[in-house]
Amino acid sequence: MNVQTVIDGDHASLTIEGRLSVTTSPDLESEVEKLPATVSNIDFYLADLEYISSAGLRVLVTTQKIVTQRGGTMVLHNPNDEVFDVLDMTGLVDVFTIER
């Protein structure tokens, strides 16, 4: 998995490529933890995310909670059909803002 992070004021954009699994989710968690406390809005770009496991979903749910506590927003952009299906099956399409 590869994560590219861009920070602009209170906004962070994270582009995730590859597989977000139990093995790689700690890397994404670390990237989120490195974000300054002033970041309240996070966009995840998922067009190149091939796979997401329950461990990856946990990182996204945890990030959503952090953003909500900071009064911000989190948006998942362009998940492919497989990733969207996982979000749909777990009911997370009702939790996250998703732009396809």
Phi, psi of 49 (to 5 degrees): -85, 120
CATH of the domain at 62: 3.30.750.24
The predicted model scores a pTM of 0.96
pLDDT at 5: 98
pLDDT tens for the 100 residues of the chain, in order: 999 999 999 999 999 999 999 999 999 999 999 999 999 999 999 999 999 999 999 999 999 999 999 999 999 999 999 999 999 999 999 999 999 9
Number of structural domains, the chain?
A: 1
Gap between the Cα atoms of 9 and 33, Å rounded: 16
Domain that residue 18 falls in:
2-99
